Amino acid sequence: MSFLDILVIIIPATLYTAAPLIFTALGGVLSERSGVVNIGLEGLMLFGAFAGVVTTLTLQDSVGAAAPWIAIVVAAIASGIFSLVHAVASITFRADQTVSGVAINMLAAGLTLFLIRRIYNKGQTDFVDYRINKQDVPFLSDIPVIGDIFFSRIPYTSYIAIFVAIIVWYIVFKTPFGLRLRSVGEHPMAADTMGINVNRMRYIGVVLSGVFAGIGGSVYALSISGNFTGHTIAGQGFLALAAMIFGKWHPIGAMGAALFFGFATSLSITGAQIPLLQNIPSVFLIIAPYVLTILALTGFVGRADAPKASGIPYVKGQR
Amino acid sequence: MQKLLKNDKLFNIVVPIFSAILGMLVGAFIMLIGGYDPAKGFSALFQGMFGSPKNIGEMIRAASPLILAGLAVGFAFKTGLFNIGVEGQLLVGWLASVYVGYALNLPAVIHIPVAILAAAIAGGLWGMIPGFLKAKFKVHEVIVTIMLNYVALYTTADIIKRYLYAGNEKSYKIQESASLSSGFLSNLTDGSRLHWGILAAVLMAVIMWFLLEKTTTGYELKAVGFNRHASQYAGMNVSKNIVFSMTISGAFAGIAGAMEGLGTFQNMTVLSAFTGTGFDGIAVALLGANNPFGIIIAGVLFGGLNTAAPQMNFNANVPSELVEIIIALIIFFVASSYLIRLLLTRFSKEGK
């Protein structure tokens, strides 16, 4: 097996598994940059997966293949609204943000299954008829070598994810809005003095994280799993959280980390086809992202520091 | 009312009670919207908790790991640390207890304590890692414990598959001599799976109370929790206390795992997802206001809710996930104690 053959297997698989992680990690970046820790990404993703699958199942008979794409938009809105629970608790009511995030995860797990049983009278949904399919990009996939590696058998959502990461980077680091978002996460009192509404910026940050996690969850459900069960999202949200940290709270970094974690995850599946990796127990590949994140935090793989004010509720007039 | 708001100790008791009631109320509201009968739902839930000796037995059985998980979270909270890693520490402890219970041949009097101790050590070591990283590198324990949860989940599954696999996604059974199960307790409760573990859970609660309230070590741990810098200035070794707190917390969680391994299941399953006990432990600790005896009450309540959920589904047709929703809501309300303070202030003003 030549090196090129290996790339043809690995790179499309990486892009395929990384897309939901990229979206969700970007959501994490936006929330934490505004100063709100979001452990609830997992739950927000689950809610997005739920909304995405239910919408697709409802619409697929009338609109056909467009259904999953509409469903992603619906999931983004639904998870955005759902994330308001976290926002209200942790910003307005000054709840411990980690505790609130844990509660979001539990609430999402309970609520989605409760609704699935209410709607379908069973513990899981049917498989959707129309998925977001892996496809070849017209023209580009005909380019020799590169076409096979980067533009064949990959769902469009993967390209969109990378594109969105660049947009988020631009917004966070090159626009006045991004400057305000970062300032309330680093030094809310200074930001307040400059006339920025700290709580409003934080609300925007959290809701955007809900929107992105919703997209991530629905992309996962509609491109990878195909239906919704209680276990559709099993750790992807936390993996995205890890990607955000490994990417040092930077949109492009988070995207890179998500791609790398996607690569590690896909290796644990496709590794059996690749000569060198056949002998490595797959458990090492599966736990690699988590171990690497811990190492990154300790400074062995480049120091990662969180936004200074993340995790601390802002109370006007309090030093 | 005014008095209540000024009295912090009383307020700390009012918040959990208020939250539990609010959680149930919102749960009832959700049942109404879903087209179920809340009265029927709650009476079925109550039946499932107290309706028969067997139900009560199952409630107490389910409470033992929850109490221990709650103690784990609560102990770390006291030192100002948030241990989300109870889930992982529990899995590691579960595996250790099952391994010792299976591999060694000892009389029961020694075998059971040794197996529980093994679980405590395994959980303690797993909890020590985030404690050490926090003390030495100032890494936030929340993230490390989350990551270690997944490492524990996948590693324990892999170890069982490799070394302890008895087929059908399960490990070998433990020896009779390591088992906590009891024919006496089971007969007493009409054949529930109630085992002696509850005694271990209560004993640990007493140990936690003693350690925190009656020893210098406990005083230091709490001081570090109140104000890290002041404790440092007073000459306490903050790093040492952080590591110690996480280790003990992990040990409690490990023993919670032993409850499952030596008591309820007598083996360990190759898990592909978390048990949820560790996360419920956060709810238990919050509702119990981090007080060992409050945690026992909260643990029994959540144990009952969990074991009664199927009955609610059976009798009133309400999906059992409602219980999870209620638990999540209670966490929100306890965490948002500012909201409750606000509400109470408003009420007391109107009363005048």
Judge: B325–A297 Cβ closer than 8 Å, yes or no.
Answer: no
User: Is the pLDDT score of B352 beyond 50?
Assistant: no
Q: Quick count: other Cβ atoms within 10 Å of Cβ A64? A: 10
Among B31, B331, B343, the strongest candidate for a mutation testing the A interface, having the largest count of A CBs within 10 A, is B331
Instruction: Name the interface residues of A facing B (CB cutoff 8 Å).
Output: 37, 39, 85, 89, 93-96, 98-100, 102-107, 109-111, 113-114, 117-118, 231, 234-235, 238, 241-242, 245, 281, 283, 286-287, 290-291, 293-294, 297-299, 306
Please give the residue of chain B at the shortest CA–CA distance from A97: B335
User: Is the pLDDT score of B188 beyond 60?
Assistant: yes
Among A261, A265, A290, the strongest candidate for a mutation testing the B interface, having the largest count of B CBs within 10 A, is A290
Question: What is B178-226 written as a DSSP string?
Answer: G--B-HHHHHHTTS---BTHHHHHHHHHHHHHHHHHHSHHHHHHHHHHH
User: Is the pLDDT score of A277 beyond 80?
Assistant: no
Q: Which residue has better confidence, A247 or B122?
A: B122
Residue corresponding to tokens 């209680």: A230
Question: What is A178-199 written as a DSSP string?
Answer: HHHHHHHHH-HHHHHHTT--HH
User: Is the pLDDT score of B143 beyond 90?
Assistant: no
Q: Are B252 and B243 in contact (CB under 8 A)?
A: no
Average pLDDT over residues B239-249: 95
Domains by residue range for chain A, with CATH: 3-298 (1.10.3470)
**pLDDT (0 to 100) of residue B190:** 83
Average pLDDT over residues B48-71: 93
Give dist(CA B289, CA B130) in Å, integer.
Answer: 24
How far does CA B118 lie from the centroid of its chain? 19
User: Is the pLDDT score of A145 beyond 80?
Assistant: no
Domains by residue range for chain B, with CATH: 37-317 (1.10.3470)
Using a CB-CB cut-off of 8 Å, the residues of chain B touching A299 are 137
Q: Which uninterrupted H or E stretch holds B170?
A: strand B170-171
**pLDDT band for position A299 (50/70/90)?**
confident
Question: What is A241-301 written as a DSSP string?
Answer: HHHHHHTTT-HHHHHHHHHHHHHHHHHHHHGGGSGGGTTS-HHHHHHHHHHHHHHHHHTTT
pLDDT tens digit string along B7-19? Answer: 677 777 888 888 8
Question: What is B237-273 written as a DSSP string?
Answer: -HHHHHHHHHHHHHHHHHHHHHIIIIIISSS-B--SS
| ipTM field | 0.87
Q: Is B167 helix (H, G, I), strand (E, B) or coil?
A: strand
Task: Identify the bridge partners of residue B170 per DSSP, sorted by sequence position.
Answer: B167, B269
Give dist(CA B84, CA B145) in Å, integer.
Answer: 6
Residue A145 backbone class (left: φ over 0; alpha: ψ -120 to 50; beta: rest): left
Of chain A, the end-to-end C-alpha distance in Å amounts to 63
Cβ–Cβ contact B286 with A under 8 A: yes
Considering only A78-92, A188-202, A291-305, which range has the smallest mean pLDDT?
A: A291-305
* Nearest neighbour of B328 by CB, restricted to A103, A231, A281: A103
Give the mean pLDDT of chain B: 90
Most confident range, picked from A165-174, B270-279, B316-325: A165-174
**pLDDT (0 to 100) of residue A13:** 87
Using a CB-CB cut-off of 8 Å, the residues of chain A touching B339 are 93
pLDDT tens digit string along A187-233? Answer: 999 999 989 999 999 999 999 999 999 999 999 999 999 999 988 88
Q: Are A51 and A221 in contact (CB under 8 A)?
A: no
- What one-character DSSP code corresponds to residue A125? P
* Nearest neighbour of A118 by CB, restricted to B283, B319, B331: B319
Give the mean pLDDT of chain A: 88
Q: Which residue has better confidence, B72 or A310?
A: B72
